[in-house]
Amino acid sequence: MKQSEIREMSVEELKEKLAELQQQYGTLKMAHAVTPLENPLQLRSARKTVARLATELTKRENQ
């Protein structure tokens, strides 16, 4: 997800997407712990997307 897409989202959409992606990241992490993922870079990508969403949400709440 690109930063420009994140900026266009409303606060409610950000919260929903953040919760969804955090759960998805947790699932990926567990799957990787049991058996290695075919593409372990998915973990990095998911983690960075979660961080981008959380950062944007915090930025909006502080304004």
Show the beta-strand stretches assigned E in the chain.
none
Predicted local confidence at residue 55, as pLDDT: 96
Question: Could you give the number of structural domains in the chain?
Answer: 1
pLDDT of residue 1: 84
Question: What is residue 56's predicted lDDT score, i.e. its pLDDT?
Answer: 96
Shortest CA distance to 29 belongs to which of 19, 20, 18, 40?
40
Domain at 57, CATH number: 1.10.287
What is each CA distance from 61 to 2, 12, 34, 55, in whole angstroms?
20, 12, 37, 10
Across the chain, which has 63 residues, the per-10-residue mean pLDDT values are 92 96 97 94 96 96 92
The residue segments making up the domain with residue 23 are: 3-62
Q: Tell me which residue has tokens 């944007």.
A: 56
Contact 53, 22 (CB under 8 A): no
Confidence (pLDDT) at 33: 95
Report pTM.
0.90
